[in-house]
Chains A and B, each alone.
Chain A
C-alpha cells in the first residue's frame, strides 16, 4: 500500500520537476530574457555592494568629505568614470548608490499598490454588485488623471520626500492592480473548484484566500516585474521635477536635474546618470516580457 502511495508521490514529483524544467528551458531559450535577468541582477548587486564598489562612497553617503570643491565638473576619466558634478562629487559612485534609492522606491510603491489595489480588486471581484461598481468606478476616476500629474499633485501638496513620492505613485498605481485582480477573479470565480467551495458554504473571504489568491499570484508578479521599470521611471521623473527625493540624496532623477545648468559645458553631469535609469528599465522590461511568455499570462502594459 505504502509502496503504491510512494510511487504515486514520486511520479507527481517527477511531473513537477518536468514542469519546472520546461519553464526553465522556455526561460533560457530567449536571449533577451537572459539579458534582462543579468541587467536586473547587476542593478541589485550594485545596490547591495555600493559601499564596496564605489570609488568615492563619501560622495554619496554625505557627511565629512561629501564635496570636493577642487574637483568640480571634471570630465570623465579613469579617476572619475562618469566625471564629477558641480560639487566635485564622483558621479559614478553616486549612480551606484542611486540603485539603492531606485530599488527602494520601487519596492515601496509596488508593495503599497499591490496590497491596496489587490485587496480592493479581490473584494470587488468576490462581492460583485454595488461594492464592485463603487470600487471599479473609483479606480476609473483615478485613472482618468495622468499618472505623473496625480503623483505630482499628491507629492507637491504634501512635503516632497522619498516616502511621500512613493505614496504619490501608489495613488495612481493601485488602480492597475485593482483592475488586474478583479478581472482575474472574475474569470476564476466561474471555475468548478471555486463553485464547489462556495456550495459548501465557506464565506467569500475564505474562498478568496484559499482558492483565488494562489491563482492570481502569477499574473500579479509578472505585471509587477514589468511595472518595476515604469515605477522607477516615474519616481525619477518626480525627483527630476523636485517633487520626489530631495538633494543631496543620490537619486538618478535628481542628478539629471542638477546637470541641467551645465548642459552646454559639462554634458556628462545630466546624461550619464540618465543612462542608469534606462539601463534598469530595460532590464525589468526584458525580464517581465520573458516571464510573461514563460508563464503565458496576459497582462496590460500601461505607462
Chain B
C-alpha cells in the first residue's frame, strides 16, 4: 500500500453546553493513503463533518485532543498545532451546503481571486492595501485566468459570466460546482467532500458526483467523501469507514462491506440505501443518543437488536477481522478473526456465527 498522507490518532472533541459537556468525538483513528478515496459514512449528527473540520482547525469552540500527522509530519499533538497551515494548498474542504457556503455579498470572481492572491496565510493587510491601491493588473489577470481554468474543470460552460455573478444569481447545482472549483484552486493533496450534491435534486447530485469523481481520477488526489448514503460510498470510494455517535464502528474495503457488513449499525445503514426496485429505503429507527454524560458502553446498544448485557457495561474495542475489515462490536470475539470458516459463502445476516456454533454444541 502507498504512503499514508494523513493519519489521525485518538481524536477527541468536546463542547460545553448548557446541559453539560458533550463528548462528541470519542477517540477517532483514521488513516488516508496517497491516491486513496475513502468514504466516511454515518447518519447526520454522528460527527463526520466535525472530524474533517477539526483536521483544518475550523471549529474554534471545540476542545480537542489527539494527534495528527500530515505526510509523516506531526501537525497536531499536545505540543504542536499547525493545522491551520494545511488549509487550501495541502487539504481543502468542499463544504456541505452550496446555498449557504458562498459569501453572499461578494462576486464569485472576487472570492476566488482572494483565495489565489491571499490564501495561505502569509499575506498581510498591507499586501491587500497595496494590491487594492496599485490595482495590480497582471497578478489579478493571472488569478482570474486560473479561476476560469478550474471552472472549466468543473464543467461550467460560461466561466466569465459566473465569475462576475453574485451567489444569489446562480442555481444550487452551479454553486456546488463553484465550491468544488474553489477547493481545487490551490491544488490540494487531499480533498474532503462533505455530502457533495446531497442538498440538491437527485439528477444534479448524480452529475456532481460524476464531475467530482472525474476530477479526482484525473488529478490522482486523495479524497475523503463524507456521506450518509452507503450507495454513494459504493460509487465513489475504495474504502469505507462507518461512524456512529462520534466513534468509528467499522472499517472495510468498499466491495467487502456490501457483501458482509459486520456491525449491526452498518446493516441498518445498508438497509436504508434507496434502490430503484424497493423505492425509498426503510431507514433505521431511533436516533443518535445524547453526547452529554455518555456511559462507557457501546453507543449503539439502545438501537441494536442484538444488544446484551456486555454491550451496556463495556465499550467494545475495535477488533480486526479478515478481508481487511475491522469492527467495534461485542458480537465478535476479540482478536480471533470473527467468523468460522464454514459460512463465509453466506452474506452476514442475523446472529453472529460463533453464537450459532455454541447452540449446536448444546
Interface residues of A (CB under 8 A from B): 22, 25-26, 29
Interface residues of B (CB under 8 A from A): 18-19
A29: B residues at CB distance < 8 A: 18
User: A27's closest neighbor in chain B, by CB?
Assistant: B18
A22: B residues at CB distance < 8 A: 18-19
Q: How far is the CA of A186 from the CA of B321 in the complex (A)?
A: 57
Q: How far is the CA of A22 from the CA of B290 in the complex (A)?
A: 14
User: A26's closest neighbor in chain B, by CB?
Assistant: B18
User: B20's closest neighbor in chain A, by CB?
Assistant: A25
B19: A residues at CB distance < 8 A: 22, 25
User: B18's closest neighbor in chain A, by CB?
Assistant: A26
Q: How far is the CA of A26 from the CA of B18 in the complex (A)?
A: 6
A25: B residues at CB distance < 8 A: 18-19
Chain A facing B: main interface SS:
helix
CB of B220 to closest CB in A, whole Å: 48
B18: A residues at CB distance < 8 A: 22, 25-26, 29
Q: How far is the CA of A25 from the CA of B16 in the complex (A)?
A: 14
Q: How far is the CA of A25 from the CA of B18 in the complex (A)?
A: 7
Please list 6 pairs of residues, one from A and one from B, whose beta carbons are closer than 8 Å in the complex, sorted by A's number: A22-B18, A22-B19, A25-B18, A25-B19, A26-B18, A29-B18
CB of B225 to closest CB in A, whole Å: 34
Q: How far is the CA of A22 from the CA of B19 in the complex (A)?
A: 7
CB of A49 to closest CB in B, whole Å: 35
User: A293's closest neighbor in chain B, by CB?
Assistant: B18
CB of A104 to closest CB in B, whole Å: 36
A26: B residues at CB distance < 8 A: 18
CB of B18 to closest CB in A, whole Å: 5
Q: How far is the CA of A29 from the CA of B20 in the complex (A)?
A: 11
Q: How far is the CA of A234 from the CA of B238 in the complex (A)?
A: 68
Q: How far is the CA of A77 from the CA of B97 in the complex (A)?
A: 66
User: A23's closest neighbor in chain B, by CB?
Assistant: B18
Q: How far is the CA of A74 from the CA of B18 in the complex (A)?
A: 51
Q: How far is the CA of A26 from the CA of B19 in the complex (A)?
A: 8
User: A25's closest neighbor in chain B, by CB?
Assistant: B18
6 A-B pairs with the lowest CB-CB distances in the bound complex, closest first: A26-B18, A29-B18, A25-B18, A22-B19, A22-B18, A25-B19
CB of A25 to closest CB in B, whole Å: 6
CB of B19 to closest CB in A, whole Å: 7
Q: How far is the CA of A29 from the CA of B19 in the complex (A)?
A: 10
CB of B300 to closest CB in A, whole Å: 24
Q: How far is the CA of A235 from the CA of B105 in the complex (A)?
A: 41
Q: How far is the CA of A53 from the CA of B18 in the complex (A)?
A: 39
CB of B114 to closest CB in A, whole Å: 32
Q: How far is the CA of A244 from the CA of B19 in the complex (A)?
A: 47
CB of B178 to closest CB in A, whole Å: 31
User: B19's closest neighbor in chain A, by CB?
Assistant: A22
Q: How far is the CA of A25 from the CA of B19 in the complex (A)?
A: 8
CB of B20 to closest CB in A, whole Å: 9
Q: How far is the CA of A80 from the CA of B19 in the complex (A)?
A: 48
CB of B354 to closest CB in A, whole Å: 38
Q: How far is the CA of A29 from the CA of B16 in the complex (A)?
A: 12
Q: How far is the CA of A29 from the CA of B18 in the complex (A)?
A: 7
Q: How far is the CA of A177 from the CA of B328 in the complex (A)?
A: 56
Q: How far is the CA of A22 from the CA of B292 in the complex (A)?
A: 13
Q: How far is the CA of A113 from the CA of B109 in the complex (A)?
A: 50
CB of A149 to closest CB in B, whole Å: 35
CB of B331 to closest CB in A, whole Å: 32
Q: How far is the CA of A137 from the CA of B282 in the complex (A)?
A: 51
User: A28's closest neighbor in chain B, by CB?
Assistant: B18
CB of B22 to closest CB in A, whole Å: 14
User: A294's closest neighbor in chain B, by CB?
Assistant: B18
CB of A249 to closest CB in B, whole Å: 44
CB of B293 to closest CB in A, whole Å: 14
CB of A297 to closest CB in B, whole Å: 16
CB of A293 to closest CB in B, whole Å: 10
Q: How far is the CA of A20 from the CA of B171 in the complex (A)?
A: 43
CB of B289 to closest CB in A, whole Å: 16
